[in-house]
Amino acid sequence: KLAEFTGVKHALACASGTDALTIPLMALGIGAGDEVITTTFSFIATAETIVLAGATPVYVDIDPKTYNIDPAKIEAAITSKTKAIMPVSLYGQMADMDAINAIAKKHNLHVVEDAAQSFGATYKNQRSCSMSIASGTSFFPAKPLGCYGDGGAIFTNDDNLAKVMKEIREHGSETRYYHTRLGMNGRLDTLQCAILLAKLERYPWELQQRQRLGQRYNDAFSSIKVTDFQIPVVEAGLTSAWAQYTITVGDRAGFQKKLTDKGIPTSVHYPRIMPDQPWYKAQLSKQSTKPTDWSISRWAADHVISLPIYPDMDDKTQDIVIAAVKDALK
């Protein structure tokens, strides 16, 4: 069902979005001494999976409109150790996959899409998870398609890669009790599978609702002219899964308090870029290329804030949020 929805040959359910990225890297033979280029701005699991595979993450700054990795800055980070690019489809919108795939082809690199937040999004009518050698998504309850515990899935059109990833997912076993490679316990439990099968039937409607609500927010906020206030930009030819509706504001703490005082929940995705996280910052010396300017993502980390968005949100509830945002920006 997942493969059919996404338009790929193979979909492998797994235990988490983290496993859904670690397993493809392992299956592609990426490990010690290798480098994987990724964004600075994502949940830490993106960099974590690269390290868990044994490789070194190399960080590239983001596009200021979409918050996804900036393809124009990727080539400067490529070295003889680079084996893959891991773009993140942040907040539900896919990165510039045409540009990224072109760079990867030029330099003979793999692309593994981190689609944890973008399951169901499209790029020029192609689904997220269908535009790279492998991709991984998350079914954590907070994700657009969430189960009731934790879960994920891996996607590929490559028959041999699918076979290897399945073996890795099941302790590296080719057949039961016959282990031909290093693996893990990455299987998704039956209960979560049943929940996802039921929720997948409703998911096209949920995507439509998220897109309607995202556009409704944008329509309400588009005329606001306040310093540092920015609404999400969905690029032409793309659709977003709207995992989050994330804006930027000048005084985030003050803005957040005003909304909290009115009973409106908010979240920050994310308050610190990955290479500034203490453990990962200590690993930067392992990169072949020295850290470069990450000013755009650092600015985003200081200013982004996410508003409520969920499929069953009614217009009346959204109007309350809209009014509170406008009042807080005065």
The helix or strand, by DSSP H or E, that contains position 104, with its residue range, turns out to be helix 97-106
Q: Burial code of 93-103, b = ≥16 C-beta within 10 A, e = fewer?
A: bbbbbeebbeb
Q: Residue type for 299, please?
A: W
Give the SS3 label for residue 301: helix
Let me know whether 189 and 208 are in one domain. Answer: no
Let me know whether 144 and 209 are in one domain. Answer: no
For the chain, percent of residues with pLDDT exceeding 90 = 96
pLDDT digits 0-9 by tens, 164-179: 999 999 999 999 999 9
Name the residue with tokens 């439990």: 189
Let me know whether 170 and 76 are in one domain. Answer: yes
Question: What is the C-alpha to C-alpha distance for residues 204 and 190, in angstroms, rounded to an integer?
Answer: 23
Tokens of 328: 């807080």
Contacts of residue 83, Cβ cutoff 8 Å, sequence gap at least 6: 28, 30, 34, 35, 36, 55, 109, 110
Let me know whether 23 and 155 are in one domain. Answer: yes
Question: What is the C-alpha to C-alpha distance for residues 11 and 108, in angstroms, rounded to an integer?
Answer: 24
pLDDT of amino acid 285 = 87
In 3-state terms, the chain is what percent helix, strand and coil (to 5)? 40, 20, 40
Considering only 128-142, 217-231, 280-294, which range has the smallest mean pLDDT?
A: 280-294
Q: Residue type for 12, please?
A: L
Q: Domain end: 168, 195, 222, which one?
A: 195
CATH of the domain at 104: 3.40.640.10
As to burial, measured by CB atoms within 10 angstroms (0-12 exposed, 13-18 middle, 19+ buried), residue 164 is buried
Contacts of residue 319, Cβ cutoff 8 Å, sequence gap at least 6: none
Let me know whether 123 and 224 are in one domain. Answer: no
Q: Residue type for 270, please?
A: Y
Q: Residue type for 88, please?
A: V
Let me know whether 300 and 265 are in one domain. Answer: yes
* 310 upstream amide cis, omega within 30 of 0: no
DSSP 157: S
Q: Domain end: 174, 195, 216, which one?
A: 195
pLDDT of amino acid 120 = 98
Which residues constitute the domain of residue 61? 2-195
Range 200-211 average pLDDT: 98
User: Does residue 184 have a pLDDT over 90?
Assistant: yes
Let me know whether 87 and 234 are in one domain. Answer: no
Let me know whether 305 and 172 are in one domain. Answer: no
Name the residue with tokens 């032409």: 236
Let me know whether 146 and 265 are in one domain. Answer: no
Tokens of 8: 């790929």
pTM, rounded to two decimals? 0.96
CATH of the domain at 299: 3.90.1150.10
Bridge partners of 39, per DSSP, are 60
pLDDT digits 0-9 by tens, 220-235: 999 999 999 999 999 9
Q: Domain end: 195, 229, 248, which one?
A: 195
User: Does residue 292 have a pLDDT over 90?
Assistant: no
Let me know whether 187 and 58 are in one domain. Answer: yes
Contacts of residue 242, Cβ cutoff 8 Å, sequence gap at least 6: 91, 92, 144, 210, 211, 213, 214, 309
Question: What is the C-alpha to C-alpha distance for residues 308 and 327, in angstroms, rounded to an integer?
Answer: 16
pLDDT of amino acid 293 = 87
Question: What is the C-alpha to C-alpha distance for residues 6 and 62, in angstroms, rounded to an integer?
Answer: 26
Let me know whether 12 and 154 are in one domain. Answer: yes
Q: Output the DSSP codes for 223-290.
A: T---TT-B---PPTTEE---S-EEEE-SSHHHHHHHHHHTT---B-S-SS-GGGSHHHHTTGGG-SSP
Q: Output the DSSP codes for 187-235.
A: PPPHHHHHHHHHHHHHHHHHHHHHHHHHHHHHHHHTT---TT-B---PP
Q: Please answer whether residues 62 and 70 qualify as being in contact, where contact means their C-beta atoms are separated by less than 8 angstroms.
A: yes
Q: Residue 287 — very low, low, confident or very high, per pLDDT cuts 50/70/90?
A: confident
- When divided into structural domains, the chain yields a total of 2
Let me know whether 136 and 229 are in one domain. Answer: no
pLDDT digits 0-9 by tens, 95-115: 999 999 999 999 999 999 999
Q: Residue 289 — very low, low, confident or very high, per pLDDT cuts 50/70/90?
A: confident
